[in-house]
Structure 1
Amino acid sequence: MERLDWLAVVRHGLSTGNVTAQEAEAGGAEMIEIPERDADVPLSDTGREQAEAVGRFLREQRPDLAVVSPYLRTRQTAEIALAGSGVPVVVDERLRDRELGVLDLLTARGVEARLPDEARRRARLGKFYYRPPGGESWADVLLRLRALLREVREDHPGGRVVLFAHEATVLMVRYLTEGLLEQELMELAHRTAIANCSVSSWRLDGDRLVPELFNAVEHLEREDAEPTRQEDVNAEPV
């Protein structure tokens, strides 16, 4: 089987939607008031600065291909981070964020208040297999990510590839790359908040990719910072 030499996934920078969602959750609101559709939510000014910091990090890593979610916030992150680098960019809809269906724009409180039956069904089935009406389960997203990564490996053997995607994608790429179990993935999701413009990466060791970085953010703090190795990261609770 063909292998990549290096694989990384970057969560998009802080978006205007992230800011609004954080305020809604903190304020106890039931709805997140975002005027755009999810695919059209842009980066905030802070998100643009974060993307520039990712660009400084990636210049040292020298990726030879970037695969990007079609959502505006991820495309903007990639455009800023890779400006002037000459790295080819491929936009692939399989990297889009998880579709939430009837849960879209509801806070945790909103789901409990407005869709109690769905809240109970989600609790019974668990995050991995629960599919909201009109939306996707984590398992659904994994199917498209699995196909994408297979194609990337086959088309770019020995390549150094960076993905620009979304919060849950980072966790799911780790699940696929490291061969985790459902329980391990869900425990990881419960205790880890994937930071905006964090970097997670894996490098080839023998015939497999091994963890290098996970949810690393030091490049956002200062330009000359050394990224934290996976074993040094203290995951923050969601």
Structure 2
Amino acid sequence: MAGVRSLQWLNLTRHGESTGNLAYQAVHGTDAEEAGITERDADIPLTDTGRAQAATLGRRLAALPAAERPTHVVASPYLRALDTAKIALAQTPYAGDLTLRVDERLRDREQGALQGLTARGIERRFPEEAARLKQLGKFYYRPPGGESWADLALRLRSFYRDLEADAPGGRVLVVTHDAIIVMTRYLVEDLTEKDIMEIERQPIANASLTRWRGDGSELQAVCYNDASHLSGIGAPTP
């Protein structure tokens, strides 16, 4: 993908477990129409497990060889991602050499009128939207007031173009959300709609690590959704 070719390393991680993740887990498989989340999406905090996951991620980052350590860190402005970045960096010996930047283009996908609803809730309250989703498919469907997965690609193309200009030849850590990680893979690896919707079926683990290494002309995949450092500290959550 044009916009990241000059990077030495591109590392992406999902935020640690949040109270929102637990809320959706609690109603999964029930007849509930809402997840019961009271905060706006931007203000959903980490759980204690999420904070522990972030610290463990930080220790993995600290163990990276010097030639692979991040030179630039950018995070979503949402609380759960920003706190994950701060907690993780605090575990590294090089945190004082880094400036944590925030970029709103890394925020989670906007759900619009469907925010906080379960699949059952959407079917009951917005049956016409459930039908439209089925017709258009997940990749191109845009909820009222929200974003499609294709919309994420548009803002991420802009983000990565700016990133290459700001950090040519850099080693970048991006702390963000599952949908952003999935769509970054779509862009970097030039995947199709079919490819990425199949990949998306596997949940991105909280505080997992996805990495690409640059060879001067393109990025090569190193690992995807790697949570080996989190053994025993929480399972992947939707």
Identity level (%): 52
**Paired AA for residue 219 in structure 1:** H
Matched, 1:186 2:189: no
User: Which region of structure 1 is more displaced relative to structure 2, 27-36 or 192-201?
Assistant: 27-36
Please say if residues 13 and 73 of structure 1, whose CA atoms lie closer than 8 Å, have aligned partners that are also in contact.
Answer: yes
The letter for the 2-side match of 1:221 is S
- What's the TM-score once normalised by structure 1's chain length? 0.90
Amino acid of the residue matched to residue 122 of structure 1?
L
Give yes or no for the alignment of 1:42 onto 2:45: yes
Q: Supply the AA of the counterpart residue of 1:93.
A: E
The residue type paired with residue 179 of structure 2 is: A
Deviation at 1:122, TM superposition (A): 0.5
Q: Over residues 53-83 of structure 1, what are the superposed CA-to-partner deviations in whole Å (9 max), with x where a residue is unaligned?
A: 1101111241011110000000000000011
Counterpart CA distance in 2 for 1:67 and 1:172 is 17
Q: Tell me, which stretches of 5 or more residues in structure 1 are unaligned?
A: 224-235
Looking at structure 2, the residues matched to 8 and 222 of structure 1 have their Cα atoms a distance apart, in angstroms, of: 23
SS at match of 1:26: coil
Aligned to 2:159: 148
- Once residues 54 and 101 of structure 2 are traced to their aligned partners in structure 1, the CA distance between those partners, rounded to angstroms, is 18
Aligned with 1:28 (options 26, 31, 36)? 31
Match of 1:218 in 2: 228
8 Å Cα contact 1:25-1:108 kept in structure 2? no
Corresponding residue for residue 85 of structure 2: 78
Which one is further off, 199-208 or 135-144? 199-208
Where has structure 1 moved over 6 Å in runs of 4 or more? Answer: none
Q: How much does 1:27 deviate?
A: 2.8
Stretch deviating more after TM superposition (78-87 or 37-46): 78-87
> 2:208 matched to which residue of 1?
198
> Structure 1 residue 205: deviation in Å?
2.7
Counterpart residue number, 1:66: 73
Q: Is the 8 A contact 2:13 2:209 kept in 1?
A: yes
Which ranges of structure 2 fall in alignment gaps of 5 or more residues?
Answer: none
Which whole-Å CA distance do the structure 2 matches of 1:79 and 1:34 have between them? 24
Q: Which fold has the larger relative contact order, with Cα–Cα distance below 8 Å and residues 6 or more apart in sequence?
A: 2
CA shift for structure 1 position 222: 7.4
Contact 2:7-2:216 within 8 A present in 1 as well: no
Which whole-Å CA distance do the structure 2 matches of 1:202 and 1:137 have between them? 25
Q: Secondary structure at the match of 1:170?
A: helix
What amino acid sits opposite 1:161 in the alignment?
V
Deviation at 1:5?
0.3
1:6 is matched with 9
1:97 aligned residue: 108
Answer yes or no: is 1:109 the counterpart of 2:109.
no
Match of 1:123, SS?
Answer: helix
Please, which of 129, 134, 137 is the counterpart of residue 140 of structure 2?
A: 129
